[in-house]
Amino acid sequence: MSIAYKLVALIVGIGLLVIGINETRIYLSGESMDLSTATMEDFSEKNVVEGDIACVDTQFAVIEEKSKALGFITTSTKQTYYYMVESLTSDQINKYLETGDYPNGAFVYVVSVSSEELRKQFDENIDGWNDFFDEETETIPEPVHFEGRLWEQPTDDDYKNFRSDALKDMGIEDWELAELKAMDSRPDKTSFVLIIIGVVGLLYGAGGIIIPIMKKKKMASGPRY
């Protein structure tokens, strides 16, 4: 059983090391992609992002994420809310409302939000647009300032089905959706901690597996009397 634990430590260590190195690279670069000028192609590479989101279309999924200790003991839970968002800026929206010409290169992307304050702002933006199109107000809602990073979207079937239904309701084709999502979490100094933990796990796992194998080989190849 000890070998199994060391194998798990080795695999987890490698995973954390890869994640830590990637996040540290993004953190140290100090670069941030502007959401107001980003293209759909920009959403194919992980990066830090910042900017104003002018139009939040809908909330389409809520996922409960659990933090576990020792792989099976739940230590905390949090709700993550998933939204479908337009890439249009406020200026582009105003021009579209005046002329009816939809901007070339526009697309939609997913934003995941865990912050309660940010979720409230997203919901208010949705309500504001509903009131505007229902002609209950002539004022378009204020943009939501967002800071975070680009990351992979969930891959489970339930999420994909919720996302597909949202796109159909909006009348949007799958190819108009950006690959990566924006999430309200930015790389910080804790990235270095992931590297350290990853190295420890890697050394512990590798040492516990490789060294005994090498000892057995050495004993097997030793002198016979």
pLDDT of 178-205, one tens digit each?
999 999 986 545 544 545 665 555 555 5
Q: Are residues 176 and 195 in the same domain?
A: no
Contacts of 186 (CB under 8 A, 6+ apart): 48, 147, 148, 149
Q: Are residues 74 and 134 in the same domain?
A: yes
Quick check: is 181 in a domain? yes
Q: Are residues 19 and 110 in the same domain?
A: no
Quick check: is 167 in a domain? yes
Q: Are residues 129 and 181 in the same domain?
A: yes
Q: What is the pLDDT of residue 56?
A: 98
Q: What is the pLDDT of residue 86?
A: 96
Q: Are residues 158 and 217 in the same domain?
A: no
Task: Tell me the pTM.
Answer: 0.71
More confident residue, 11 or 154: 154
Q: Are residues 156 and 216 in the same domain?
A: no
Q: Are residues 166 and 214 in the same domain?
A: no
Quick check: is 37 in a domain? no
Quick check: is 62 in a domain? yes
User: Could you tell me if 151 and 157 are in contact, meaning their C-beta atoms sit under 8 angstroms apart?
Assistant: no
Q: Are residues 68 and 156 in the same domain?
A: yes
C-beta neighbour count of 201 within 10 angstroms:
21
Model confidence over 98-142: pLDDT tens digits?
A: 999 989 999 999 999 999 999 999 999 999 999 999 999 999 999
Q: Say whether pLDDT at 225 is over 50.
A: no
CA–CA dist 126, 121 (Å, integer): 9
Quick check: is 88 in a domain? yes
Model confidence over 41-64: pLDDT tens digits?
A: 999 998 889 999 999 999 999 998
Q: Are residues 79 and 106 in the same domain?
A: yes
Contacts of 203 (CB under 8 A, 6+ apart): 13
Quick check: is 42 in a domain? no
Give me the domain span that covers residue 210: 1-30+188-224
16 pLDDT tier (thresholds 50, 70, 90): low
Q: Are residues 81 and 140 in the same domain?
A: yes
Q: Say whether pLDDT at 207 is over 70.
A: no
Q: Are residues 69 and 162 in the same domain?
A: yes
